Structure 1
């Protein structure tokens, strides 16, 4: 089965390449980026994301909202779904399946692709497969700036930019502490990362590398009162509370993590995200135990972070960035294969998290923290510069930033949306 998984991915990419070469497409002329905003206009920003996990889309939504608030136009497109629906569906299936069933294979793939030659080959293949599709999108949107929150889209953008086929600035937003080589790409004008340790890992960038404020929902930036949060959520006022979160998909060894955290004697809140099967299983396992609360998807996570004494996490992705922003101490435990372990190593080096390497170490740490003999230090945000501010620095200074006004601007946005949707739909069978 592991061999079949790898062969399947290679086969899909090969079939897509053959189909792409055979398919005769109507090319939409690329926007030459000679246009600059008039006084009644704003900058146009295209954000490329992917629905593989929840972090890429969440970061894209934050950046979009900040740009819209500043009076600019910003649209998000699922770049992987646009480029290849087949590969998109495969990744959405294979990513959680590998992490749950054969994590060693996922870890091997991540380590292999972090090598210079393999990363170069992956970037070349992605560009060969998906450049024309992406250029069609750029021709419709006519952006002044392109931002990628997903590595494979960064790969295509970097190559197109280096070849001069995309003339507007391009940026990559890295939402992990650990920067895998595929998060970066030569040709990209700006890489945004969340720490100095992360910046040192950006090895293939030939543009700027800057530290940004974690791109998280503004709700996490509000430092809420702990007692008020516990009262709102009906949590015990004086207990030490550990918040266990498995991200949007509830992946990783979340059940084992929850059992080990609960065994330490602290009050345990487990958030399973959209993994309804896991939530049901844990609810049965901890039925009748009044020191454990099991949740599925919740919009109250900012309040739970305010109420908790620490976060226990295994991936180190956007959930950890949310905790960093909320000033909640982080304990990494049983990190998921591949990028999860890379994040754990990087966050531990940066002093952003405690890494418990065994069940005994985890229990001892939580018990000591609950007794007050050990104080878990909250992580520090290294910069207050929002991603949107850093991204706009790529554009000429002094440009007008007022929104497009009037019915003409609204009609233009509506037409653009229709064209983008049409472009995505034409590839739905590809």
Structure 2
């Protein structure tokens, strides 16, 4: 009997979309090793020259003009990608998408980004007989995700479900599963072993993340935080942003025995276990990983649009707060130096997580779709 095949399509506009695809693929294989999965950033795969150039331009826009990104997000909030745009994308990037699907012969296509979602939807309108599932990777539902050809939407929360219904999606096609996280986030690691692995001290620890692109800007509060470096240990994770890493390492403030500056790592799940608080850009993926670990979160510099919505969701849920003033920094630096209080706070978040989120729900929902 042929093994079930799942093709997961994403794009590189921010690392979270592709991370979600890999996380779901790993979760599926963990639950059922017989399932074959393939993750693809479709534009980069089909057009390896032009695709990265467009993503690079988008990255620069996000870092230099975030307000413009927010304006574009809000102005098209209720709109799907129109037919002309879908046709243009198809001609420029995705003319061979149907060939890729034909060669791989998946039983299910899952999209974790709106663009491949729109392209496969167009192919279905043109006659492609394929079950299409969309995983929304934020705590908001922009209209660009919505296509009537999608058979199932897997969403982060009931709030997103309601927003999709307002966009005209039938309730029967929507499952609230939470955003998938990698199985590494399903378990707890030994803190002593982590400290030994990374050369860390047994001190209150703050993990600061700038997302896959390492967009830390020039946030003065992040620098202010290091005033506590004699009593608190800091791990700055700047992703693939080598320029930020070099700049930080050239600054005497960050060259301290209790400050670590690291680039891209696959060990974020371990670092979250050894940390007492997470300071992060509020990407949907990172926030969900933080929630899965029950780690309190402080959010800084949300990009207008979906990151603002992510912030609002987690703040209202009690999982974090905005980092907007020095008093907030001081409050948390003092709290994590009180082990009993810090431990109680984290246990409360783990209890809340158990009520609201189960990392197995999303891959289990996909397994049901494959039956």
Compute the TM-score of the two structures, normalised by the length of structure 1: 0.73
Partners of 2:108 and 2:317 lie apart in 1 by 31
Aligned to 1:225: 190
Alpha-carbon deviations, 1:161-216, whole Å to 9, x = none?
4x362322110112223333323433211111233333333343335222225422
Partners of 2:239 and 2:107 lie apart in 1 by 36
Aligned to 1:394: 369
CA-CA distance at 1:147 after TM superposition: 0.6
**Against the structure 1 CA distance between its residues 122 and 283, is the aligned structure 2 distance closer, same or farther, given a 3 Å change threshold?**
farther
Partners of 1:293 and 1:315 lie apart in 2 by 21
Of 19, 31, 42, 2:3 maps to 42
Aligned to 2:331: 365
Aligned to 1:92: 55
Q: Is this contact kept in 1: 2:134–2:154, CA < 8 A?
A: yes
Aligned to 1:253: 217
CA-CA distance at 1:96 after TM superposition: 1.9
Q: Give runs of aligned pairs for residues 25-424 of structure 1, distance below 5 A.
A: 40-69=1-30, 70=32, 71-82=34-45, 88-114=51-77, 116=78, 119-122=79-82, 124-127=84-87, 129-130=89-90, 132-161=95-124, 163=125, 165-202=127-164, 203-204=166-167, 205-206=169-170, 208-237=173-202, 239-253=203-217, 256-263=220-227, 266-285=232-251, 286-351=253-318, 353-372=319-338, 375=345, 377-378=348-349, 380=353, 381-395=356-370, 397=371
Q: Is this contact kept in 1: 2:108–2:132, CA < 8 A?
A: yes
Partners of 1:186 and 1:264 lie apart in 2 by 53
Partners of 1:258 and 1:274 lie apart in 2 by 19
Partners of 2:88 and 2:263 lie apart in 1 by 40
Runs (5+) with no aligned partner, structure 1? 1-39, 398-430
- The structure that has the greater radius of gyration is 1
Q: Is this contact kept in 1: 2:11–2:41, CA < 8 A?
A: yes
**Against the structure 1 CA distance between its residues 90 and 233, is the aligned structure 2 distance closer, same or farther, given a 3 Å change threshold?**
closer
Partners of 1:301 and 1:339 lie apart in 2 by 22
**Against the structure 1 CA distance between its residues 337 and 146, is the aligned structure 2 distance closer, same or farther, given a 3 Å change threshold?**
same
Partners of 2:207 and 2:66 lie apart in 1 by 24
CA-CA distance at 1:368 after TM superposition: 4.2
Q: Is this contact kept in 2: 1:49–1:78, CA < 8 A?
A: yes
Q: Is this contact kept in 1: 2:11–2:115, CA < 8 A?
A: no
| Secondary structure, counterpart of 1:358 in structure 2 | coil
Compute the TM-score of the two structures, normalised by the length of structure 2: 0.83
Partners of 1:305 and 1:102 lie apart in 2 by 30
Cα RMSD, aligned residues only = 2.7
Partners of 2:141 and 2:63 lie apart in 1 by 23
| Secondary structure, counterpart of 1:216 in structure 2 | coil
**Against the structure 1 CA distance between its residues 296 and 82, is the aligned structure 2 distance closer, same or farther, given a 3 Å change threshold?**
closer
| Secondary structure, counterpart of 1:99 in structure 2 | helix
Q: Is this contact kept in 2: 1:216–1:321, CA < 8 A?
A: yes
Partners of 1:82 and 1:123 lie apart in 2 by 23
Partners of 2:283 and 2:179 lie apart in 1 by 13
Q: Is this contact kept in 2: 1:176–1:318, CA < 8 A?
A: yes
- Larger CA deviation: 184-193 vs 143-152: 184-193
Partners of 1:87 and 1:123 lie apart in 2 by 22
CA-CA distance at 1:385 after TM superposition: 3.3
| Secondary structure, counterpart of 1:201 in structure 2 | helix
Alignment coverage as a number of residue pairs: 351
| Secondary structure, counterpart of 2:138 in structure 1 | coil
